[in-house]
Amino acid sequence: MKFLLVEDNMELAQAILSRLRLDGHVIDHAAKIQDAIAFSELGEYDLILLDIMLPDGDGRDFLQRHRQGRKDTPVIVLTARSQVSDRITLLDLGADDYVTKPFDHAELEARCRAVLRRRAGSARNVTQVGDVTFDPVAGVVQVAGTAIKLRNRELRLLELFMNAPGQIFSKQKLVDRLFSYDEDVSDNAIEVYVGRLRKHLETSSLRIRTSRGLGYSLEHD
């Protein structure tokens, strides 16, 4: 999954980044509202973690703008406000959930998983295409009932393909979804990951098709 973290406290931001990256997520970090707006306009995210008190304004303004733009990306608000009225206001503005500071990072991870499951309309969020099943929360992939081990970016690449079988993804689109903006990505990085994933799927009914000049798509026999 690709997340956007909007948080100006660098110590807290680094702790969140480290914890979620261990789970295999790709995360862009913005310390200001204007940076968050730029990120959200340039890229696509599966989840936004949003602080309220930011140096150039109120995170609630970003949330309201985000929803008025008809963007349905789930938003979890990170807030020090504990009053019921404050939490109601956040939910009415379009927040999907909130975590009150200080919070346990395990709780934040659990809330991220719960929001993503709700977005998918599933209690467990397991995807199946052909004879391959994928549980993105547990990071478990099975081919005809047999588990196979994939690295983090291979998992995220498979997730993209399985969520949209038959859709062609350009190399640039895959770069945008698999890497954060501050990562230096070589021209052949996507080819490398696609090649690795193809090897993992050799015994399955799925194939990654190359459309010359366009990109890659997931097909099944």
Query: Please, what's the largest Cα pairwise distance for the chain?
Result: 56
pLDDT of residue 182: 80
If 0-12 CB within 10 Å is exposed, 13-18 middle and 19+ buried, where does residue 84 land? exposed
If 0-12 CB within 10 Å is exposed, 13-18 middle and 19+ buried, where does residue 50 land? buried
Work out the percent of the chain whose per-residue pLDDT is above 70. 96
Q: What pairing do the DSSP bridges indicate for beta strands 97-100 and 53-54?
A: unpaired
* Total Cβ atoms within 10 A of residue 3: 25
Mean pLDDT in residue range 13-42: 92
pLDDT of residue 120: 67
Q: Report the distance separating Cα 138 and Cα 93, nearest Å.
A: 31
pLDDT of residue 123: 47
Report the 3 state secondary structure along 137-202: CCCEEEECCEEECCCHHHHHHHHHHHHCCCCCECHHHHHHHHCCCCCCCCCCHHHHHHHHHHHHCC
Task: Give tens-digit pLDDT for 95-151.
Answer: 999 999 989 998 999 899 888 878 766 545 688 999 999 987 777 899 999 999 998
| DSSP state for residue 22 in the 8-state scheme | H
**Given a cut of 80, is residue 47 above it in pLDDT?**
yes
Task: Go through the domains of the chain in sequence order and give each one's CATH number.
Answer: 2-120 (3.40.50.2300), 127-220 (1.10.10.10)
Q: Report the distance separating Cα 164 and Cα 219, nearest Å.
A: 10
pLDDT of residue 14: 95
Backbone angles phi, psi at 167, to 5 degrees: -80, 135
**Given a cut of 80, is residue 16 above it in pLDDT?**
yes
| DSSP state for residue 84 in the 8-state scheme | H
Q: Report the distance separating Cα 164 and Cα 199, nearest Å.
A: 20
Q: Report the distance separating Cα 152 and Cα 51, nearest Å.
A: 27
**Given a cut of 90, is residue 79 above it in pLDDT?**
no
